[in-house]
Amino acid sequence: MACGEFGPGRMAEPLEIVAAIEAALAEPTVLPLPKNSAAAPKSGKALAGKHVLVTSGPTHEAIDPVRFLANRSSGRQGHAIAAAAAEAGARVTLVSGPVAIADPQGVATIHVESGRDMLAAVEKALPADIFIAAAAVADWRVAEVGAHKLKKKGGAAPALALIENPDILARVAQARSGRPAIVVGFAAETENVLDNARAKLLKKKCDLIVANDVGEGTGVFGGKTNLVHLVSKSGVESWPSMDKAEVAARLVQRLAAMSERGQ
Q: Which residues of 205-231 are buried (b: 16+ CB within 10 A; e: fewer)?
A: ebbbbbbbbbeeebebeeeeebbbbbb
Of the residues 2, 3, 11, 159, only one is catalytic, namely: 3
Exposure class string for 34-55: b at 16+ Cβ within 10 A, else e: eeeeeeebeeeebbeebbbbbb
Residue 7, phi-psi category: left (phi > 0), alpha (psi -120 to 50), beta (remainder): left
Question: CB–CB of 82/44 below 8 Å?
Answer: no
3 is catalytic: yes
CB 54 within 8 Å of CB 255:
no
Q: In 3D, which of 47, 103, 53, 57 has the Cα closest to residue 77?
A: 57
Give the residue numbers marked as catalytic. 3
